[in-house]
Amino acid sequence: MKIFHCGHCEQLVFFENTSCVNCGRLLAYLPDRTDMGTFETDEDNTLQSISPGTKKRAYRLCQNYTENNVCNWAVDVDDPNPYCRSCRLTRVFPDLSQPGAREAWARLETAKRRLLYSLILLELPLANKTEDPDNGLAFEFLADPPPDTPDAVPILTGHDNGLIVINIAEADDAEREKRRHLMHEGYRTILGHFRHEIGHYYWDRLIQGTDDLVEFRRIFGDEREDYGEALQRHYKEGAPANWTDSFVSTYASSHPWEDWAETWAHYLHILDNPGDRRGVWPLAPPQAGGRAHDEAGYPGRRPETPVVRRDHRPLVPVDLCAQQPEPWYGYGRCLPVHPPHPRAR
Ligand SMILES: [Zn+2]
Ligand SMILES: [Zn+2]
Ligand SMILES: [Zn+2]
């Protein structure tokens, strides 16, 4: 993910911040600009951006920012919708009278905004179900019924025709870890769920019924294989012993649709990693005559592939800003500090 700065004092700020830790100015993310906005309030209580690039543009905070404290995005002042681009996709949110529900909702919305960040940069269709009832997208965050409810059916996280349902128990770290262990998964996060399920949605939108289905079947296999039987077989027999030769996860080996969704999710994970201080996504080829760098960002080896540290923060070539004329995704300003040398950590 790109690194943001306060539009007033240049302090480093992060995607989830609501105010600058240095100057205290109000912050809100501007999805239309894919940048963090810094604001001052004018006489009639409208938020005026003081960030370069959006200076003097008027915004208001998303209603879920002001009333529920589960959002930090802004809405253009002329937009009649009180909710931001992310929140307007949420159709059902948890019952806030239940203990822990607001915290769970906030965690889910935070992960959803990270998802939306990537989808907006990739210019993928994001209409909600009000705008496009047939092909639009909606999220429902649901809780399991109380255990003593007769014929209680547990809420399954999944996707169906643009509706993505997430069981809010997934927002509880201990519960999610328990489920990860039970399902023998190496990796289970809220953001991972969102990225996987949205992969199913975009298969419907981008592959189903198009000429790309031929190429899809060549790469992922024939999705006409019985889905229910494939999953049953997967849960009974597990992944093939050599699954690492062809799949990004054991679950990807269960059915071509799951292979697609797992691959889609991993692609988004990778894209999210190598953002640098200018917001550049996967490393651009070095400019002709430019300096090459080793994987720690020091002169030496040419960086051909994105390099990711164990803590999933990017290794940034020291003078990438000087090398790159224009990033092809996102935009930003240079961080006025150099990344620490990894050996000092
Ligand atoms: Zn500041
Ligand atoms: Zn919002
Ligand atoms: Zn799936």
Mean pLDDT along residues 62-66: 93
pLDDT at 205: 96
pLDDT at 274: 54
> Tokens for 149?
């409810």
- Rounded to 5 degrees, φ, ψ at 197 are -65, -35
In this predicted structure, the answer to whether residue 294 has a pLDDT above a threshold of 70 is no
CA of 207 to the centre of ligand 3 (A): 16
Ligand nearest to the CA of 6: 1
Mean pLDDT of the chain: 79
Ligand nearest to the CA of 67: 2
Say how far apart CA 187 and CA 193 lie, in whole Å. 10
Say how far apart CA 336 and CA 345 lie, in whole Å. 20
Residue with structure tokens 């509880």?
172
CA of 28 to the centre of ligand 2 (A): 10
Closest CA to 19 of 37, 1, 33, 31: 37
CA of 240 to the centre of ligand 2 (A): 43
Q: For 17-31, 118-132, 183-197, 201-215, which range has the lowest pLDDT when averaged over its residues?
A: 183-197
Q: For 6-15, 197-206, 301-310, which range has the lowest pLDDT when averaged over its residues?
A: 301-310
DSSP 8-class letter at 64: H
Q: For 42-46, 148-152, 165-169, 197-201, which range has the lowest pLDDT when averaged over its residues?
A: 42-46
In this predicted structure, the answer to whether residue 207 has a pLDDT above a threshold of 90 is yes
Residue 307 is which amino acid? Answer: V
CA of 164 to the centre of ligand 1 (A): 37
CB-count burial class (<10 Å; 0-12, 13-18, 19+) for 167 = buried
Percent of the chain with pLDDT over 90: 54
CA of 323 to the centre of ligand 1 (A): 28
Q: How far is CA 1 from the centre of its chain?
A: 9
Say how far apart CA 99 and CA 189 lie, in whole Å. 22
> Tokens for 259?
């292979």
Mean pLDDT along residues 36-50: 85
CA of 266 to the centre of ligand 2 (A): 25
CA of 75 to the centre of ligand 2 (A): 8
Residues with CB under 5 A from ligand 3 (ion): 258, 261
- Segment 231-254, tens digit of pLDDT: 999 989 989 999 999 999 999 999
- Rounded to 5 degrees, φ, ψ at 105 are -60, -45
CA of 70 to the centre of ligand 1 (A): 22
CA of 169 to the centre of ligand 3 (A): 18
pLDDT at 298: 30
In this predicted structure, the answer to whether residue 76 has a pLDDT above a threshold of 60 is yes
Mean pLDDT along residues 266-270: 91
CA of 170 to the centre of ligand 3 (A): 15
- The DSSP bridge partners found for residue 167 are 142
- The DSSP bridge partners found for residue 30 are 35
Segments in 245-313 forming alpha helices (H): 256-272
Closest CA to 333 of 271, 276, 293: 276
Residue 301 has, within 13 A of its CA and on its CB side, a CA count of 8
CB-count burial class (<10 Å; 0-12, 13-18, 19+) for 152 = exposed
Ligand nearest to the CA of 79: 2
Mean pLDDT along residues 75-103: 91
pLDDT at 154: 83
Percent of the chain with pLDDT over 70: 79
- Sorted by sequence, the CB contacts under 8 Å of residue 207 that are 6+ apart come out as 213, 216, 260
